[in-house]
Structure 1
């Protein structure tokens, strides 16, 4: 009995020693449930509020201003732009700067007071059906709430007015049929590329380190930059093949719209290339930190959690609290989703994607530089 206890103690001591050596692995095990709890408890919200909006008012009367004020009072809409032309308004919604574009016609007040079918136009970016649903509900409630204080006394019931003083004409843009596949399927391209390329690169390079072949490579005249470029280049081709396959299936199986112009395809290709190389650079960086393939896989999965939940793929981006959106803006898949959805659904070109293209370039520059710097001391 005493000998058995000693043997158990020896195995126990050995495990604690291994635990001290595998700090990254056990840190991941402890951090994973904490991160999941924080994300689902605080960040995830399927009812987005304070969505950006723009109002083009051709009528500046008190009645028209009351409608604008009523929109601002709702929790769903934040009026951030007051464009001066329809071209400027169209550009804002096409670029994704706003999700709601409201136009108040010049004859709004005249028709309202006469009870002659006054209308306002609400154009909604429906590329994300979940976000659009809340906005539609908010603007649809305006006729019954916006003018309660203004339409009193003789103005309350002109002769032929209908129950509602005016009508909100809703146009769903980019996804008029409200198909979820138009939002999810293009987004899956970013998730698939992130999951496969980051993990594949991290585990492949870590495997070479475990087998000693990486040490042999570093002993050759090849520089760390040359080694990194040579190792990542084949995976760029893999990522491009994945992209073509996903886009073909999206079109054939789900009828997802494709880019309509050469400029649109060029913009999409630019975003895809930057995203692929950025993910591969991140995988290479992970391989310089991980000591085993298991650690490389765990770190890749750890990266995927915020990529899925904070990027606008699984849940509306504007439904996240401010701190979560700040984290999401630092994740490359957030910008890639805007690029791919913009090119396929909105007909965007490079000029419309400027901030997102720049964000992917910065991510590639920073992560690539750190990976090259660490590769010099990886095997020391």
Structure 2
């Protein structure tokens, strides 16, 4: 036995590099994963969202009301997307998730300020995600002393100097105590289903191809669609069992409120499970080994977690990251789950998210069948 040889080590290294470059999928993911992580964490993640969609109800047309409206428009935290006429419209926009802040300036606002009474401005916050609105709520504290500074002149100046001319009443809807678990635990349903169903399906089909049992299955008079349905059906049951376990633990262990919206939630869960399984099946038609199937699953799951609004506020991301997040099915599923459990949304409130999940199922299933037929040929 000869001693240590650098030449032999170099030869083994060259062989390993050549073998690595032959596995193009693994090689590409090794290079792409750090770039994706760097871009997402460096540019897309923002723990202090700004320009949050805000609706405004102004019940009087006065200089004070216009000054407050102008102050809100000039704030970096609020983006006035609608000015409604009735409290019912304001309530609907918050319930449907179209805005995160609903601000009401009452009809007696100016009169109370002029009399020196404590005028009030009501701010309703969609607090389903406390981290998304915390900084904006804190910014409201400075509004009473700044918004009317130029208007409190003459006889009103002493009143403004003594005390702020009005106060901001903040009403945190759906999560008054800002309990983080109310947001995280329902979101875990989407993450867990994605991680388990996509990966299990991709590994299951790829494992059969590696062992050669898929060829035996194809030798039988079974149509491709029958193979796909038969392979995925057991995992549908697994997904439903996982959903039931997570919801039970969320209710009895974490005390997550479950307002209602069960029909929309059931439909959303069913669509998401089917779509996730179809995606795993699609990955199995591309991957040649179980290692590749697992790598592809991880490559899908990581952006799903970061861009869906599960870990970080969705509206805190830049526009391009939000556009990518809208493509991720987990984003729409999380809105369905949180909307149903925390807000009691019905199908009429979440139909856009359900439609996105239907599109996801149709596209992924069609691609999986096309790839599977091509593999058979």
TM tier, smaller = over 0.9
CA distance in 1, matches of 2:38, 2:304: 16
Aligned partner of 1:362 among 356, 359, 377: 359
3-state SS of 1:82 partner: strand
Residue in 2 that maps onto 1:138: 139
CA distance in 2, matches of 1:220, 1:139: 68
CA distance in 2, matches of 1:2, 1:132: 66
3-state SS of 1:377 partner: helix
Residue in 2 that maps onto 1:61: 62
Deviations for 1:135-175, whole angstroms, at most 9, x for unmatched residues?
A: 211222210111111112322224x9851011111101000
Instruction: Indicate how the Cα distance of structure 1 residues 3 and 92 shifts in structure 2: closer, same or farther if over 3 A, else same.
Output: closer
Instruction: Indicate how the Cα distance of structure 1 residues 214 and 153 shifts in structure 2: closer, same or farther if over 3 A, else same.
Output: same
CA distance in 1, matches of 2:6, 2:90: 77
CA distance in 1, matches of 2:64, 2:127: 28
CA distance in 1, matches of 2:113, 2:162: 11
- Asked whether 1:246 is paired with 2:243, we answer no
**327-336 or 147-156, which deviates more:** 147-156
- Asked whether 1:18 is paired with 2:4, we answer no
Residue in 1 that maps onto 2:195: 195
Deviations for 1:63-106, whole angstroms, at most 9, x for unmatched residues?
A: 10110110111111101011121111111000100000011111
Unaligned runs of 5+ in 1: none
CA distance in 1, matches of 2:104, 2:153: 25
Residue in 2 that maps onto 1:312: 309
3-state SS of 1:254 partner: coil
- Asked whether 1:288 is paired with 2:285, we answer yes
Question: In the TM superposition, what is the alpha-carbon distance from 1:281 to its structure 2 partner?
Answer: 0.8
CA distance in 2, matches of 1:71, 1:13: 63
Q: How does 1:343-354 map to 2 (within 5 A)?
A: 343-354=340-351
Q: Check whether the contact 1:205–1:284 (CA below 8 A) recurs between aligned residues.
A: yes
Deviations for 1:255-313, whole angstroms, at most 9, x for unmatched residues?
A: 001133xxx11111011111111111111111011110001111111111111111110
Q: Check whether the contact 2:145–2:165 (CA below 8 A) recurs between aligned residues.
A: yes
Q: Check whether the contact 1:215–1:379 (CA below 8 A) recurs between aligned residues.
A: no
CA distance in 2, matches of 1:223, 1:292: 24
Q: Check whether the contact 1:95–1:353 (CA below 8 A) recurs between aligned residues.
A: yes
Superposed CA RMSD: 1.8
Length-normalised TM-score, structure 1: 0.95
- Asked whether 1:331 is paired with 2:331, we answer no
3-state SS of 2:169 partner: strand
Deviations for 1:25-53, whole angstroms, at most 9, x for unmatched residues?
A: 12111111111111111111100111001
Residue in 1 that maps onto 2:211: 211
Question: In the TM superposition, what is the alpha-carbon distance from 1:230 to its structure 2 partner?
Answer: 1.2
Residue in 1 that maps onto 2:339: 342
Question: In the TM superposition, what is the alpha-carbon distance from 1:181 to its structure 2 partner?
Answer: 0.5
CA distance in 2, matches of 1:103, 1:236: 46
3-state SS of 1:375 partner: helix
Q: Check whether the contact 1:119–1:169 (CA below 8 A) recurs between aligned residues.
A: yes
**171-180 or 59-68, which deviates more:** 59-68
- Asked whether 1:44 is paired with 2:45, we answer yes
Query: How many residues end up aligned between the 2 structures?
Result: 376
3-state SS of 2:375 partner: coil
